[in-house]
Amino acid sequence: MGIAISGTGLYTPAQSISNEELVEAFNAYVRKFNDQNKDAIAKGEVEALQESSVEFIEKASGIKARYVVEKEHTLDPDIMCPRFPERSNDELSILAEMGVLAARDAMKAADKTADDIDAVLVACSNLQRAYPAISIEVQDALGIDGFGFDMNVACSSATFGIQAAADMISAGNARSILVVNPEICTGHLNFRDRDSHFIFGDVATAVVLEDEEVVKTRDSFKILGTRLKTSFSNNIRNNFGFLNRTAPETAGDKDKLFVQEGRKVFKEVVPLVSDMIVSHLEDLGKSAHDLKRMWLHQANKNMNDLISRKVLGHDPDKDQAPVILDEYANTSSAGSIIAFHKYKSDMGVGDLGLICSFGAGYSAGTVVVEKIS
């Protein structure tokens, strides 16, 4: 029995922030901070903040804009954080709401109803709460009679979720499974940090997996193989958690949001991922020359270009390794799925592709697929 991805879905928030808007807000904050602390700065007691620029952002990342769930307060120099009103326990949570919209899109693409789905996996970087699971909330909102659970492997959550779902279907534990990736990345981004204030955006994606024998839609892909890898590193970290309240003196420190050592990440992750892709293909009896497309994790264009170059042996063109960073920015686990969703319809039957994730942990995942319909 082979397992196929028979449908993909995407929810894109209505609001977008351009680099120009983001830089304007950030620089207003910087000027205000430097003015308020000018005496301490002059005495060397406080370090002056440096302004950002559109050119810096685009050169460093390839990002030009990002979609966000909440724009107004994110761009307010006195706040610089999205504001989401607390919802009652009787209302659908915001993370579940985004997931449901992406899931419905994927189910429509796969020609599936709630009766056809047996499980929901919500796999993302940041879960809105500890319990009840967001996946069970999504399952309930969709009217699915089955089971659900949440999982977090940071930027690799989607590929890890795909392997988990494929394994459960192969074992006979489910007929069809939804893997949903709602990412409100702006909620854990420090918009007052010059090196990272531009990185993330918000989005939700979803995929439907099922036995290839029952697939009845176009744009379906058989999974030829999956591979996962983790290697502990502190170079990307977020220390927010339920124990923060037990140490109130550090509960508001910068490490309770996203922090990273970008240069170290670049240096260490690129060879890890490129070697992993090549070895996975070899173990499947394939090579990079067999790949028509690589849907890579969308964190940084420079990283993607170098990984593609190492794998393919030449500079990739936009068709071989499509980039959605310019419009969506880094959306953590959803990035490679957005690229797959948007750039798969021109694939022919028999064409080979690769979905790849990498990020905090370190974690990395590869899913080799073949177009079957």
Q: Which residues pair with 260 in a beta bridge?
A: 236
Residue 222 CA to residue 288 CA, distance in Å, equals: 18
Residue type, 268: E
Sequence-distant (≥ 6) Cβ neighbours of residue 278 within 8 angstroms: 288, 311
User: What is the C-alpha separation between 341 and 320, in angstroms, rounded?
Assistant: 15
**Set 124, 155, 185, 356: catalytic member:** 155
Helices (H) and strands (E) in the chain, counts: 10, 13
Going from the C-alpha of 85 to that of each of 134, 262, 363, the distances in angstroms are: 18, 33, 33
Q: Residue 157 CB: number of other CB atoms within 10 A?
A: 28
Beta strands 3-11 and 65-68 are: unpaired
Length of the chain: 373
* Helix 19-36 and helix 54-61, axial crossing angle in degrees, nearest 10: 120
In angstroms, how far is the first alpha carbon of the chain from the final one? 17
Question: Does 81 participate in catalysis according to the annotation?
Answer: no
Residue with tokens 């397992």: 3
Q: Is 208 helix (H, G, I), strand (E, B) or coil?
A: strand
- Dig out the tokens for 192 from the structure: 């007052």
* Distance (Å, whole) CA 265 – CA 371: 33
Hey, which residues are catalytic here? Answer: 155
